[in-house]
Amino acid sequence: MTTLHGSVTESVAADPDALFALITDINRLPEWNAHIHHIVEAPAELTDGSEWVIELRAMGSKWNSRARLQELDPVSRRFAHISCSDDGNPSFAYWTWELTPTDAGTQITVSWELQPKTFWRKWLLGRIRHRQLKNEVGESLRSGAAIVIAGLSG
């Protein structure tokens, strides 16, 4: 079975609670993640099993991605979800976000497990996307932190 693991850790000078609130506000995802073009569907609030759909733009293409909440713990600042393309492809990704307060702000670790199930995703597309994520995730985290630091966290 092909599983592609990755993670990014960033230390930012942003308040951990404000940053967690921004990251878990589904309607604000396009503000800090340049690859999310817009929100197609969002829950009124995040509760166990909540789903949302975003339009992603990457690798010269665009597609809808559906996510399902797996864990939301504001006290420990942990957020986890599973995402997959919204076209019935069995491939999926498991994402975990962990925010830890530091003296200078927040240490954020985002981990992913890509589970490509079809031929092209196992041998080509999943591997390309996996390599791209390291830079993309770091950029998104820094962008979200900048929004919080600027006081635009809503």
The domain that holds 53 is classified in CATH as 3.30.530.20
Asked whether residue 80 is domain-assigned, the answer is yes
Asked whether residue 154 is domain-assigned, the answer is no
- Residue 50's domain spans which residues? 4-149
* Helix intervals (H) in 66-150: 119-120, 126-149
Burial zone of 88 (CB within 10 Å; 0-12 exposed, 13-18 middle, 19+ buried): exposed
Q: Give the pLDDT confidence of 4-43 residue by residue, as tens digits.
A: 899 999 999 999 999 999 999 999 999 999 989 999 999 9
* Interval 132-153 mean pLDDT: 86
